[in-house]
Amino acid sequence: ALLLRAFASKVKKIKELSVEMFALVFERTGQKALRMLEGLKSSFVKTIKKAIDGITPIVANEDDNNVESNSTSHSLPYAEPILAESLADANTFVASFGDAAARCLFSKDWANREAGLKYLEDDFNSIISGDADAPDAILHAVERSLRDTVASVVVASLSLLQRLTRDSDVAENSHFVVEMEKLLPRVVSRCADGNSRVRQVSEVTVLHIVSQDWLG
């Protein structure tokens, strides 16, 4: 819904960002994303299709997407044990996410760190269910990962943040709003990142957050 509103915006920058965001969505979902273009002006659809020209979707079609989702959800790669000096900081993650996810988030291997963040996003509902501390733990994981030097990890953290802020029960908590206001400048700072993909996803994330009713 947010992307559709951005498509319809009269503000040039927002419209440009909506095209960039659609390209990212198309890369991840393939033909499934094209359904969003139904009802848009043909001239704008042409602009969008030009933007995605040459992009090879990660999934070829909806069936492939379902297979990938079913096979990767709830699974994590092996990650080395957490270093002793990091155990105190990791305890919160272990309590809310489990040892395997915490090890991934603290791994020296960036692919493991990315996998840990994607796991939190994929299993979001089950992770926060019945755990009042889980939203804060996820926010802490995002804040920590936004400082990462690897673009893929930063992008995964921003995607997780978008998922977290879409949950109205979480987002409307006054404590969460305060913590988000503290985190927002860090997200904004990533809009000037040297990596174009990080910049794009950061801009989309900022637009998403500031459009939420719960943010005063």
Q: pLDDT tens for the chain, 216 residues: list them.
A: 455 555 566 667 766 776 777 777 766 666 666 766 666 677 767 777 777 776 666 544 434 343 333 333 457 999 999 999 999 889 999 999 999 999 999 999 999 999 999 999 999 999 998 888 999 999 999 999 999 999 999 999 999 999 998 887 777 777 888 888 889 899 999 999 999 999 999 999 988 887 776 665
Of 135, 128, 132, 105, the C-alpha closest to 118 is 105
- The CA–CA distances, whole Å, from 171 to 58, 78, 132, 174, 207 equal 30, 32, 13, 8, 16
The token pair at 97 is 């996410």
Parse the chain into domains and list their residue ranges: 1-72, 81-216
Which candidate, 119, 138, 134, 126, places its Cα nearest to that of 75?
Answer: 119
Its pTM stands at 0.67
Please give the Cα distance from 120 to 5 (Å, whole number): 27
- Identify the architecture of domain 81-216 in CATH: Alpha Horseshoe (1.25)
* Angle, CA 166 vertex, CA 125 and CA 215 arms, to 5°: 135
Helices (H), 40-167: 42-51, 62-72, 87-97, 99-105, 110-122, 124-128, 134-145, 151-165
